[in-house]
Amino acid sequence: MIESIFIELSIIIIIAVVVSGIMKLLKQPIMIGYIITGIITGPYFLDIVKSMDSIRTFSQFGIAFLLFIAGLSLNPKIIRSVGKVSLLTGVGQVTFTSLIGFTIAKLLGFPTISAAYISIALSFSSTIIIIKLLSDKGRLETLYGRIALGFLIVQDIIAIVILMVISSFAKGTVTVSLTLESILIGAVALAVVVPFSVFVLPDLSKKIAKSQEFLLLFSIGWMVLLSAIFGYLGFSIEIGALIAGITLAVTPYHYEIKLKLKILRDFFILFFFVLLGSQMAFSNMTSMIIPIAIFSTLVLVGNPIIVMSIMGLSRYSKRNGFLAGLTVAQISEFSLILVSLGVSLNQLGNDVLSMITAIALITIFGSTYMIVNGEKLYQRVSKYLSIFERKGKKVEGHEHRRDGHYEIMLFGCNRIGYTLLDSIKKLKKKFMIIDYNPEIVSQLSEEGYHCIYGDANDTELLNSIDFSSAKMVISTIPEIETNLILIDTVRARNKKAVIIVVSHQIDEAMKLHESGATYVIMPYFLGGRYASTLIEKYGTNVKKFLKEKTLQIEHLKMRETLKHEHPRRQR
């Protein structure tokens, strides 16, 4: 039995490697390769997936790791800063999508119960898929990424409550009493967990962190413990894993924990998408082509418009509204669970399940492309989006901007950017910092720096900056597309400015030079070059190297207090 499961999982992984490799060659998100693997290995093609319990268990671990790591990126300050708009957007989007979806379903001739199920299923978006996409793009720390994560969590809570209510009907229990009891149990659990995380975990983590292996094991154990507790109490492992991550986000070692667990996350999450693909049902869909097309359009286009409208009324820019809106352009795993539950209760037919499955496949594929290429899409449609933006001051934070001409402009002030600050200050020239992380902007502004909250991908922001008098423009952003846009914008107004950018690839560095970059920083080569300089300077003198070691440790400790990490391809 064990050998057969091992062989089955091995075949699935090998197929995933081949399909994902093809996706990489086609420059498509690897997640699509995972879903296609599930479809290929599912009952409609190779029919390899037999050990559903094992795959489902691996899938649950993947979900837990994904949300646990997302929780590590949050802290109470961040949650408070975007809590209001996240709550408003989450509840508003679910409400409006449900009403519109129900109306359309009734016009298409669906019975009232079926229309209710369909409308609710269309209103939920996949937190798991969106976190994976935003994490891969390095956009979870942006303002729109935080807001999106916030309203997706609100959606998940609403979905859980609805599933509990429907399940209570099936069991013949009293819905109101069951719901109130669950809320009370959840409140008690949080009342125990929150004080423990605030008063015990920070000091406990310092002792645990003395052993790297035990820190990793403790983190996994804490995640599994809270996931199991919340699952046992009738909530979900997702909520438990997310809360476990948030509680550890207050410790000084949360970045280290996150970095170590990313490998486990990427491995186990494979099985979630494989499972999702294998459960896609393709039968009885010929008569549903028109409803599938209409409902898919509602999700892909209507949901983002609803989010843009709500965020626009809340005085957020059209860009943040658009990028946040793209995150709701697919339906959730909760949608499939909801409709499956309706079928098991004999309230829905299999034709509705097949239709929702098709919509899930179409919208997951469509939204993935939209989110991955969000910046390019925004540049094409931005002039048509002004209707979603209220005039006047925006809440997202250009409040730190100070007008005037700047001789030096620094895009991105985390890690490399922060290292360059000391040298920039020594030049004694007026300079400005632009960063997409509102927390970093607020911190630097409090320290007296001239700052702008904004993203170098935002062409409207770049067009609002006066580059004509700049003598130096520095970008610590490793994405080549972003740097090419920045170089073109600066060179169009200033031929003489020194432009310094960052790259991790030789071919990309050469392209940046050809496009007008004055110098390209390559961190990995730069580190080796600095080490070779030390070797030439100190030779085999142990005392001098130990002195250098002491200075490096002090610097690393300072960086740790600033919450700087060292990922592979992020600024």
In a shared domain, residues 426 and 462 = yes
CA dist 318 and 324 (Å) reads 10
The residue-averaged pLDDT of 342-348 equals 79
CATH value at residue 452: 3.40.50.720
Burial 200-231 (b: 16+ CB within 10 A, else e): ebeeebeebbeeeeebbebbbebbbebbebbb
The residue-averaged pLDDT of 193-206 equals 76
Query: What's the longest Cα–Cα distance across the chain?
Result: 84
Q: Are the beta carbons of 377 and 370 closer than 8 angstroms?
A: yes
Pairing between β-strand 431-435 and β-strand 498-502 as defined by DSSP bridges = unpaired
In a shared domain, residues 501 and 364 = no
Residue 558 has a pLDDT of: 67
In a shared domain, residues 340 and 473 = no
In a shared domain, residues 529 and 440 = yes
Higher pLDDT, 568 or 120: 120
At a CB cut-off of 8 Å and minimum separation 6, what does 368 contact?
29, 31, 32, 129, 133, 330
| Domain assignment present for 419 | yes
Q: Are the beta carbons of 331 and 358 closer than 8 angstroms?
A: no
195-209, 389-403, 480-494: lowest mean pLDDT where? 389-403
CATH value at residue 157: 1.20.1530.20
| Domain assignment present for 553 | yes
Residue 536 has a pLDDT of: 77
Burial 347-357 (b: 16+ CB within 10 A, else e): bbeebbbbbbb
In a shared domain, residues 60 and 126 = yes
Higher pLDDT, 125 or 83: 125
Which band of pLDDT confidence, cut at 50, 70 and 90, is reported for residue 96?
very high
Residue 398 has a pLDDT of: 46
Average pLDDT of the chain, as a whole number: 80
- Among the candidates 338, 356, 388, a domain finishes at 388
What separation in angstroms does the CA of 460 have from each of 36, 378, 485, 491?
A: 37, 10, 12, 16
At a CB cut-off of 8 Å and minimum separation 6, what does 178 contact?
164, 165, 168
The residue-averaged pLDDT of 218-234 equals 86
Residue 183 has a pLDDT of: 64
Cβ atoms within 10 Å of 500's Cβ, excluding its own: 16
- Among the candidates 335, 356, 388, a domain finishes at 388
| Domain assignment present for 300 | yes
Model pLDDT for residues 256-310, shown as the tens digit of each residue: 788 788 888 888 888 887 887 776 666 666 778 899 999 999 999 999 999 999 9
| Domain assignment present for 569 | no
What separation in angstroms does the CA of 571 have from each of 261, 400, 523, 565?
A: 20, 21, 11, 10
Model pLDDT for residues 513-538, shown as the tens digit of each residue: 889 999 888 887 776 666 777 777 77
| Domain assignment present for 237 | yes
Higher pLDDT, 412 or 167: 412
| Domain assignment present for 51 | no
Nearest to 328 by CA among 311, 304, 308: 304
Residue 101 has a pLDDT of: 94
Taking CA 211 as the corner, what is the angle to CA 210 and CA 215, rounded to the nearest 5 degrees? 100
DSSP string, 286-311: GGGHHHHHHHHHIIIIIHHHHHHHHH
The domain tally of the chain equals: 3
The residue-averaged pLDDT of 103-110 equals 93
In a shared domain, residues 231 and 289 = yes
Residue 75 has a pLDDT of: 60
In a shared domain, residues 423 and 378 = no
| Domain assignment present for 567 | no
- What are the DSSP E strand ranges found in 204-246? none
In a shared domain, residues 66 and 213 = yes
Cβ atoms within 10 Å of 11's Cβ, excluding its own: 14
Q: Which of 146-160, 245-259, 490-504 has the highest mean pLDDT?
A: 490-504
| Start-to-end CA span in the chain (Å) | 47
Residue 73 has a pLDDT of: 66
- Among the candidates 354, 388, 422, a domain finishes at 388
In a shared domain, residues 210 and 329 = yes
User: Does 16 score more than 50 pLDDT?
Assistant: yes
In a shared domain, residues 112 and 239 = yes
- Domain boundaries, position 1: 1-41
| Domain assignment present for 156 | yes
In a shared domain, residues 222 and 351 = yes
Check residue 539 and give left, alpha or beta (phi > 0: left; psi -120 to 50: alpha). Answer: left
In a shared domain, residues 235 and 273 = yes
Q: Model pTM?
A: 0.67
Alpha helices (H) along 28-111:
30-41, 52-72, 76-107
Cβ atoms within 10 Å of 310's Cβ, excluding its own: 23
